[in-house]
Structure 1
Amino acid sequence: MIAEKKLAEKRLTEAYKNAKIEYFDNNSKYIFFSDCHRGDGTPSDEFAKNQNIFLFALEFYLNNGYTYVEVGDGDELWEHSNFKHIRLAHDEVYALLKKFFDSDRLIMLYGNHNVHLKYSNYVEKNYYKFYDEYNEEEIELFPGITPYEAVVFKHKNTGQEILTVHGHQGDRMNDNLWRFNMLTVRYFWKFLHSIGFINPASPVKSSERIHKIERIYSHWIKMNKIMIICGHTHRPHFPKVKELPYFNDGSCVRASGIQGIEIVDGKIMLIEWRIRTDSEGILHIKRKILRGPEQIEKFDLRNNKTSMK
């Protein structure tokens, strides 16, 4: 535990020091989603069941001026070696993401399941453009995009910082040993995954591993006085009174729907989009606020501005 704690703190500090800086103010609007795990449309594709919910939510955020922040594991590149198959299976999703990109409102981070995006050659080959076989021409997707390991959102007026990372940093099997873990997923767990079995190296079904990650990240927050937004565990989290400002945006593959974190008007909230019926039994996609909204400045740990412990 001590070694893993030191590793995680080292990795988080490295990510913070090398992070892209994104300045924001109280007029800024962001939606944070992570862990979409977009696959190829086969039974192992967890995202497929929530694709329509995701598309509806994305359309809302596009039309209302939000910047879309994908906090890692957007594409399931461990199970599927060819990104082309993922793009074809979810072409409507990428068409919407391209609209965010074209309006300079797309920020993409990589996680452990799409760590390939840290390599510029891979990104240029797969994400800049693609070949449209029907029209026999190359089509631009995200030309020149740079995915990041970490982004620090810094308030223009107060200087308050929010470190955003996927959350696998320091999780040994999903960080240092990701290549080995990827191979076991691609050639073994992928097939068991399609019938309901979960890789034991994943933190998703292990409450012990989830809580360990949360404790380690909370310790880093306490030592560095910087709030964190992350994903990875698939467990949404919004701090309660006197808790340290560790935020987790959940995932887009839960049976209940998709969770995310919104920042708007200087406030932060945990939200969920899900399918519900009205009084006539008609299905609707609804947005629900799970926790918040709270003023972001409430979570500023500098100069003992808060009573959090």
Structure 2
Amino acid sequence: MILEKKLAKKRLTEAYNNAKIEYFDDNSKYIFFSDCHRGDSTPSDEFAKNQNIFLFALEFYFNNGYTYVEVGDGDELWEHSNFKHIRLAHDDVYSILKKFFNSDRLIMLYGNHNIQLKYKNFVEKNYYKFYDDYNEEEIELFPNLQVHESVVFKHKDTGQEILTVHGHQGDIMNDKIWFFTRLTVRYFWRFLHSVGFINPASPVKSSEKIHKIERIYSNWIKTNKIMIICGHTHRPHFPKVNEIPYFNDGSCVRASGIQGIEIVNGQIMLIEWKIRTSSNGSLHIKRKILRGPEPIGTFDLRTSSC
């Protein structure tokens, strides 16, 4: 615990110091999703069941002028060594992500399960373009894509800062020795995963590990007076007013649907998209606000008593 505290403090501070700066104001619109874990549509691909919900949500956000922020673990590159298979399995997803990219409204972070995106050569080889076997030509996907470990959203008027990271920083198994953990996932846990077993290195099913991560991150927030938005644990979290401003956007692989965090018109909220039934029995994909909205400034530790 002490070692992880020290490591997390160091890694979060490094992430903050090296972050891309994204300026925003009260007219800005962002949707934060993480932990899609897009796979190859085999039984281990947890994202496949929610793909249509995700597509519907992204169409809504694109048409309404939002910037899409993918907070790590978008692609499941630990279980699948070839990104081509993921892209082919979820071609419609990459088509809409390309629309965000072409409109300069895509911000992509890497997490532990797609940590290979920290290497420019890997991104250039796999994400800049792809070969269309049918038409026998290369097609641009995300040319010159920049993938970040961290982004600091900074309010143009108030100077309030929001550090956004995936949330694996300081998690020894998924940060410090990720290469070893990836090997165990790819060649062992991947197959058990498809029949319901969970890798013990993952925080997803361990409440003790989740709470430990939340405590460590909350201590960093309190010390540095900077709000955090992250993912990694798959546990959505939206603090009450006067609580430490640790926000978690949940995941896109829950059985109940997908969760995310919206920042719009100077307010922040935790939302969920899921399939619901109407009174006549028809099925609809609906958005629901789970917590909030609250003014962003409410969680500014420089001026509040959190």
| TM bucket, shorter chain | over 0.9
Q: For 1:135, what is the secondary structure of its paired residue?
A: coil
Shift of 1:267: 0.2
Matches within 5 A, 1:266-281: 266-281=266-281
CA distance in 2, matches of 1:307, 1:214: 19
How many residue pairs get matched?
306
Shift of 1:306: 1.2
- Counterpart of 1:249 in structure 2 is 249
- Counterpart of 2:47 in structure 1 is 47
Which blocks of at least 5 consecutive residues in structure 2 are unaligned?
Answer: none
CA distance in 2, matches of 1:14, 1:241: 28
- Counterpart of 1:104 in structure 2 is 104
Matches within 5 A, 1:137-156: 137-156=137-156
Q: For 2:117, what is the secondary structure of its paired residue?
A: helix
CA distance in 2, matches of 1:18, 1:307: 28
Q: For 1:297, what is the secondary structure of its paired residue?
A: helix
CA distance in 1, matches of 2:241, 2:58: 31
- Counterpart of 1:119 in structure 2 is 119
Q: For 1:125, what is the secondary structure of its paired residue?
A: helix
CA distance in 1, matches of 2:154, 2:111: 22
Deviations 1:171-226 (A, max 9, x none): 00000110100000000000000000000010000000000000000000000000
Question: Do 2:30 and 2:263's aligned partners in 1 also have CA atoms closer than 8 Å?
Answer: yes
- Counterpart of 1:282 in structure 2 is 282
Q: 290, 301, 306: which is aligned to 2:304?
A: 306
CA distance in 2, matches of 1:200, 1:261: 27
CA distance in 2, matches of 1:49, 1:40: 12
- Counterpart of 1:226 in structure 2 is 226
CA distance in 1, matches of 2:298, 2:169: 26
The TM-score normalised by the length of structure 2 is 1.00
Amino-acid identity (%): 85
Structure 1 letter corresponding to 2:247: F
Structure 1 letter corresponding to 2:164: T
Shift of 1:34: 0.1
- Counterpart of 1:200 in structure 2 is 200
Question: Do 2:161 and 2:226's aligned partners in 1 also have CA atoms closer than 8 Å?
Answer: yes
Q: For 1:293, what is the secondary structure of its paired residue?
A: strand
Counterpart check, 1:24 vs 2:24: yes
Shift of 1:242: 2.4
Shift of 1:141: 0.2
CA distance in 2, matches of 1:45, 1:229: 25
Moved over 4 A (4+): none
Q: For 1:100, what is the secondary structure of its paired residue?
A: helix
Shift of 1:241: 3.1
Shift of 1:307: 2.2
Cα-Cα RMSD: 0.4
CA distance in 1, matches of 2:157, 2:243: 25
Shift of 1:260: 0.1
